[in-house]
Structure 1
Amino acid sequence: MRHVAALAGVGVKTVSRVMNEEPGVSEATREKVLLASRQLNYELDVTAGSLRRTSRRTQTIGLLLPSVSNPFSAEIHRAMEDALSAKGVAVFAASLDDDPDRERSIVRAFLGRRVDGMVLTPIAANQAHVIPEHSRDMPVVFIDREPNGIEADAVVTDNAAGGAKAAAHLVSSGHRKIAYLGDRTDIQTARERRRGFLEALSGLGIATETVPVRENLHDVEAARLAALEILTSADPPTALFSSQNLVTFGCMRALRDLGLSAKIALVGFDDFTLSDMTDPGITVIAQDPGRIGALAAERLLARIDGDAQPPRTYVVETTLIVRGSGEIPPSW
């Protein structure tokens, strides 16, 4: 706040009034203060008063996920709460909606509340533009995707290996005409799953240029329409690989709409609740969100407590869970 006051040529009290939206400040002075705060990436520290009277820790951490409503994100959230509540640490969670602007604003909001650390799924192309330089000493652990522009611990799934497992499983069931339906291509995990899947098919002797690929499917309806288009084409596939659970839901609906649930094989990436209750059950490449959340919490607590070892990336393996849909043999 003193730095803002000096840059704007006003007193600290004036800066406080502006940032707290109190009356008694002229519009011209208010504009000068706001301009200075933007230039310095200053955010109001809403806990500063209490911190002067207590320890520097707030016993809170920020958890920033693509969407807290997504089952995968929800399981990470729960695993972190289970691990951190035992240490008396509260978890504040927020959804980023894969929006870089939202990522920046929520990061700054958490910084303003002086969380002790953050666990963040990176969205923007470069996290150096997301976390202000004056806050780079805050402990941060990245999950699901590796960061760019910042060196920090990351906990990720081996997405390429998971995609390869799906390819190998479908080929072992006799399939040669397999379609790929994927998430947005600007998302690191989606690109890795596609890469692993296509490289494995190529290694198994299937020409990848013949593989129908539909991407940028970020919700159930978009995936359903893409699957319908592929399945009703002149040369439909005998199997589908869906690279994200919402895409899997769309594929399931398309197969149901066409009466093909028992005739077209389906392997999805990400497990989900009641996946064994359909007929057939859905074969999946399961991530381990519980392990990811627990490991991220462990690494964040270590960093908060002063662990200074070089940052590293922790890779969590996937598991093939066979339930029936991925074992349907080709019908043609």
Structure 2
Amino acid sequence: MPGPHDHGGGRPRRDPRSGQPTLRDVAERAGVSAMTASRVLRDDPQVLPATRERVRAAAAALGYRPNEVARSLRLGRGTGLVGLVVTNLANPFYSRLALGVDSVVARHGLKTVIGNTGQDPGAERELVADLLARRVDGIIAVPAGADQRHLAAAAADGVPVVLASRPPEGFAADCVLVDDFGGAHAATARLLARGHRRIGFLGSPPAVYTGTERLRGYAAALASAGLAADPGLVRQGQTEPEEATRAAAGLLALPDPPTALFCSNNRNTIGAFRALRAAEGGAAVALAGFDDFELADALGLALTLVAYDSDEVGRAAGRLLADRLHAGGGVGAPGEPRQIVVPTSLVEYGA
């Protein structure tokens, strides 16, 4: 026969939304009111020790876990969630960035919620609105474009916002950048030093800040060598290796093809490598790119890559956000907005 504090068969009812035992289940099992059970779980010292022990035993037996989000909101605190908005989760750079963010914010008792925009500004606006509706404590974003009014509005409302890989436009915010210009300049200069004068460029869409800065670094290196960038050797808009393979093949098929290629990110480098492998005489074309990546040393091809610590991009963004949270707010919190630039270096693979 069921005991006085059991539901039929000793099984508790479940919250239909979460599937978990409810506070009322705990109260009924312990033989107390829901208010008393709540006081015990809030560590109210006024509750009698025997009652406290009974409620805690009931909670343990049922596997009850309090809804910390709802509790934090009732107490006027945040949800303990940080929103991370990225443009392309298929790119390993963003998974490393996410790991860097999480490694820092977790030490502050925060959890990371990741959203992917697919480089779509409209999807980004909707994602940011959803994160704000969920009362995240702060947002770290890799913006898809120059229109950042939705991020500016969040910061104006007191939600700390940190940008990664792209500086803020139209408002003040902390940001973490990579030395995109310097890295691209150094890699292109390395190709020039090896005697190449026709160097093709494969890059992401023009709206992507990093790709634009890397194109600028490529052009500046050519200019330093007394060469003008040839628009006929520039291909932009590739976000996936398959697109880059087609773009590289098009450059290699020109009547006067480039003798070297510089790629603005790892997705373009991988696509270019496939095109070189497939092309007759492609192995003679030098290849350089931005972003180191796994197995780069196993391609069997001479390869110059711009390397940097992508985890550090995330860690730095996490530290900036944590500082803002501890300071008590967004851009209006004490201290001017800060910018951190992660340095780059060149690595060489193959013969």
TM-score class, shorter:
0.7 to 0.9
Cα deviation digits, residues 151-171 of structure 1 (max 9, x gap): 100100111111101111001
Cα deviation, residue 131, structure 1: 4.9
- Say whether 1:243 aligns with 2:264: yes
* Cα distance change on mapping 1:52 and 1:92 into 2, 3 Å: closer
- Say whether 1:184 aligns with 2:205: yes
SS in 2 for 1:61: strand
SS in 1 for 2:283: coil
Alignment correspondent of 1:324: 350
More displaced 10-residue stretch of structure 1: 202-211 or 148-157: 202-211
1:206 alignment partner AA:
L
2 CA distance for matches of 1:92 and 1:133? 17
Is the 1:68–1:93 contact (alpha carbons within 8 Å) kept by the matching residues of 2?
no
Alignment correspondent of 2:338: 312
More displaced 10-residue stretch of structure 1: 161-170 or 257-266: 257-266
Name which of 175, 180, 186 aligns with 2:196: 175
1:320 alignment partner AA:
L
* Cα distance change on mapping 1:137 and 1:260 into 2, 3 Å: farther
Larger radius of gyration: 2
Cα deviation digits, residues 205-256 of structure 1 (max 9, x gap): 2232376111111221221111111112211111000111111111011011
> Which ranges of structure 2 fall in alignment gaps of 5 or more residues?
1-66, 328-332
Alignment correspondent of 2:26: none
- The number of residues matched between the two structures is 280
Cα deviation, residue 121, structure 1: 0.8
Alignment correspondent of 1:140: 161
Name which of 105, 113, 119 aligns with 2:134: 113
More displaced 10-residue stretch of structure 1: 84-93 or 103-112: 84-93
> Which ranges of structure 1 fall in alignment gaps of 5 or more residues?
1-45, 326-332
Alignment correspondent of 2:244: 223
1:164 alignment partner AA:
H
More displaced 10-residue stretch of structure 1: 242-251 or 84-93: 84-93
Among all aligned residue pairs of Structure 1 and Structure 2, give the percentage whose two residues are the same amino acid.
35
User: How do residues 35-46 of structure 1 correspond to structure 2 at under 5 angstroms?
Assistant: none
2:347 alignment partner AA:
I
SS in 2 for 1:262: helix
1 CA distance for matches of 2:118 and 2:183? 24
Cα deviation digits, residues 19-44 of structure 1 (max 9, x gap): xxxxxxxxxxxxxxxxxxxxxxxxxx
SS in 2 for 1:314: strand
Is the 2:203–2:268 contact (alpha carbons within 8 Å) kept by the matching residues of 1?
yes
RMSD over aligned Cα, in angstroms? 2.1
Is the 2:69–2:79 contact (alpha carbons within 8 Å) kept by the matching residues of 1?
no
1 CA distance for matches of 2:350 and 2:193? 14
2 CA distance for matches of 1:305 and 1:287? 29
User: How do residues 125-164 of structure 1 correspond to structure 2 at under 5 angstroms?
Assistant: 125-132=146-153, 136-164=157-185
2 CA distance for matches of 1:249 and 1:265? 14
Is the 1:107–1:131 contact (alpha carbons within 8 Å) kept by the matching residues of 2?
no
1:175 alignment partner AA:
H
- Say whether 1:297 aligns with 2:323: no
Alignment correspondent of 1:14: none
* Cα distance change on mapping 1:294 and 1:210 into 2, 3 Å: closer
Alignment correspondent of 2:37: none
TM-score normalised by structure 1 residue count: 0.79
2 CA distance for matches of 1:210 and 1:109? 41
Is the 1:177–1:211 contact (alpha carbons within 8 Å) kept by the matching residues of 2?
no
SS in 1 for 2:230: helix
Alignment correspondent of 2:217: 196
2 CA distance for matches of 1:102 and 1:47? 29
TM-score normalised by structure 2 residue count: 0.75
